[in-house]
Amino acid sequence: MVANLINPTCVVIGGDMAQAGEVLLQAVRARLRRHALGSAGPDLVVTTAMLVDRSSVVGALLLASARTELVLPSRP
């Protein structure tokens, strides 16, 4: 289980899987409680992505802005 390796504080479900909503989240939480070691389970937050289907667009914008120098006109 990946949670045992990286010990996250939050797991975010995105994309098409996020549309399953609370049904999927409850199943993921239950599996983590059963199989996660130590601190990877009890306090781990499992939630859906806020951007849902727009996350790819936001990620592309962030990548483009990081690789491009923005030149703004100077003020007089």
Can you spell out the DSSP letters for the chain?
-HHHHH--SEEEE-HHHHTTTHHHHHHHHHHHHHH--GGGSTT-EEEE-SSGGGHHHHHHHHHHHHHS----PPP-
pTM of the model: 0.60
In the chain, the number of structural domains is: 1
Residue 53, in any domain of the structure: yes
Q: Which of 27, 28, 22, 29 is nearest to 43 (CA)?
A: 29
Are residues 45 and 9 in contact, defined by beta-carbon separation less than 8 angstroms?
yes
Neighbours of 43 (CB within 10 A): 8
Owning domain of residue 53: 2-67
| pLDDT tens, position by position, 24-34 | 999 998 988 88
| pLDDT tens, position by position, 44-68 | 889 998 876 777 788 888 888 888 8
| pLDDT tens, position by position, 2-19 | 777 777 888 888 888 888
Residue 72, in any domain of the structure: no
